[in-house]
Amino acid sequence: MKKIFLTLVLSITGYWTFAQNQVIINGDLGKTTINKHIYGHFAEHLGRCVYGGFYVGENNTKIPNKNGVRTDVIEALKKMKIPNLRWPGGCFADTYHWKDGIGPKKQRPSMVNAWWGGVTEDNSFGTHDFLDMCEQLGTEPYLAGNVGSGTVKELSDWVQYVNHEGVSPMANLRKENGRDKPWNVHFWGVGNEAWGCGGNMKAEYYANIYRQYATFMSDWSNTSKLFRIASGANSADFNWTEILMRDIPHNMLDGLALHHYSVIDWNKKGPAVNYDEDLYFKTMKQALLMDELIHKHATIMDKYDPKKKVALVVDEWGGWYEVEPGTNPGFLYQQNTMRDAMIAGTTLNIFHKYSDRVRMANLAQTINVLQAVILTNEEKMLLTPTYHVLEMYNVHQDATMLPVDVQTADYTFGNEKLPALSVSASRDKNGVTHISLVNIDPSKSQEISLNLRGMKASGVTGRILTSAKVQDHNTFESPDKVKPAAFKGASIKGDNLKVTLPPISVVVLELK
């Protein structure tokens, strides 16, 4: 009787429903900046990412383009605010010889894309094409150098070709090819996945190779201030991080990479659309593992670099499933559902949490490959649920991260559970606070009580991305099935904000 009475009182007062999800936004404790470069993207010569995705050729009269690059793609990426773009790989980078991709297009030699489908490429999209496209996009290029099958000279020549202002053999060649001013590329990857497709090296061996390459990129003391990024660990390979942090002098190292994909089983990845709740739960478990991975890699980095000079660069992340039925298995073309929106929202919240160390990241990959933000089919283009999350979240770029304490309900499936709620917050340079919330539970909504400690707000507005089923996605026939809408589920009284999040939803709030 007593228990029934208590339950009644608690539900009438609202306490019961809000008790499970309690969040404190520490508005007075913001110290670190959420580097906009954690919102970076990745364009590999893989399937239809570059050819058919970004680039359709200068002579294409069917698809509007500028210098062969799709105009619709440029507009969409600019709206999303893309801060940097990694190119040309991936595994492809360690097979790529940049000199094959400059000069008159008709004279460029062809090559075989050995990693991705064995297709022959004509090198019509090369260094000028990529760097000019970055200028169109207003994004910073991130070039991945060939260490696996290239030479030190080849990479140091590339640096000279794109960055040297004065008279030099490579600057002269660039000018002959029509570009007078250097592009001043800041971000440089020294190889990719050196432990695997980049050469199957041991950590100690790669650390030495890295030192050699880094020495000859620009000059001995890196006067051009390149941001050099070492090929980093695969998911939980903590030994790789340990050895590289120990063996590479930190004045030669600006970033250390990490790759982690939300993949269930490399031999049985499961479908991109027709998955059941078991597969959904397993994918989210892999996505949320990012928190523990970053924590552990960052702890190792702290041991060698307590001042956090070296950035952790998560330059490949996202969901990886079976390719769409009937498509080339080497092209990694997959659909993108609300599951991907859940991966994107929770992962970005994790990056925000570690913004003191994670200062750059690249979602794999931008168009038609893996967790793409854009899919194309000839002249048609669609924006995926992942695109919408990145566009909604762009208010956090270069804002001050506000630490959050989150007490969350569980999302339970079988005997396992995951935190249902993921939250992050920031204050932008105009003093406006944004809060991002994700509910990964596919059947339960979440009532959340947020304490805005140290802040005063008189109103709240927001946007939501949600859909009836987690498998929902956009198609070329129905490109707007999943898209953001105005959010009406938040109310504010003093420093207390109450929010109701529907199942599988991403919400970004703005405090007034």
Q: Which residues are catalytic?
A: 193, 316
From the CB of residue 156, how many other CB atoms can be counted at a distance below 10 Å?
18
DSSP 306: T
Place of tokens 């058919």: 52
Is the omega angle on the peptide bond into residue 325 within 30 degrees of 0, that is, cis? no
Nearest to 46 by CA among 109, 113, 131: 113
Give 98 or 487: the residue with its C-beta nearer to ligand AHR.
98
Please report how close the Cβ of residue 364 comes to ligand AHR at its closest, in angstroms: 4
Nearer to ligand AHR, 126 or 318 (CB): 318
- And the tokens for 466? 């949600």
Per CB under 6 A, residues contacting ligand AHR are 44, 89-91, 192-193, 316, 364-365, 370
For residue 17, the cross-strand partners are none
> At closest approach, how far in Å is the CB of 98 from ligand AHR?
17
Shorter beta-carbon distance to ligand AHR: residue 214 or 257: 257
Amino acid at 508: V
Alpha helices in 305-382 (DSSP H): 338-353
Q: How far is the CB of 401 from ligand AHR (least distance, A)?
A: 28
First and final C-alpha spacing in the chain: 45
Q: How far is the CB of 197 from ligand AHR (least distance, A)?
A: 6
Report d(CA 158, CA 145) in Å as an integer. 8
Query: For 115-186, where are the E strands, in sequence order?
Result: 120-121, 140-145
The C-alpha atoms of residue 46 and residue 99 are separated, in whole angstroms, by: 19
Q: Looking at beta carbons only, is 372 or 506 nearer to ligand AHR? A: 372
Cα–Cα distances (Å) from 172 to 129, 155, 168, 228, in that order, read 18, 17, 6, 25
Residue from 209, 70, 199 nearest 136 by CA: 70
If the CB atoms of residues 46 and 460 are measured against ligand AHR, the closer one turns out to be: 46
> Which residue's C-beta sits nearest to ligand AHR?
90
Least Å distance, CB 139 to ligand AHR, is 19
| Concatenated DSSP letters of 490-511 | EEEETTEEEEEEPSSEEEEEEE
* Beta carbon nearer to ligand AHR, 209 or 369: 369
Q: What gap in Å lies between CA 351 and CA 312, rounded to an integer?
A: 10
Say if CB 481 and CB 504 are below 8 A apart. no
Q: Which CB atom, from 68 or from 90, has the smaller least distance to ligand AHR?
A: 90
The least distance separating ligand AHR from the CB of residue 367, rounded to whole angstroms, comes to: 13
Q: In 149-202, where do the E strands start and end?
A: 187-190
Rounded to the nearest whole angstrom, what is the least distance from the CB of residue 89 to ligand AHR in the complex? 5
State which amino acid sits at residue 53.
G
Task: Kindly state the smallest distance separating residue 289's Cβ from ligand AHR, in Å.
Answer: 17
Residue 73 token pair: 């793609």
Q: Can you tell me whether residue 252 is helix, strand or coil?
A: helix
Euclidean distance between CA atoms 39 and 81, whole angstroms: 8
H or E segment and range at residue 78: helix 71-80
Cβ neighbours, 10 Å, residue 276: 10
Q: Which is nearer to ligand AHR, 89 or 126 (CB)?
A: 89
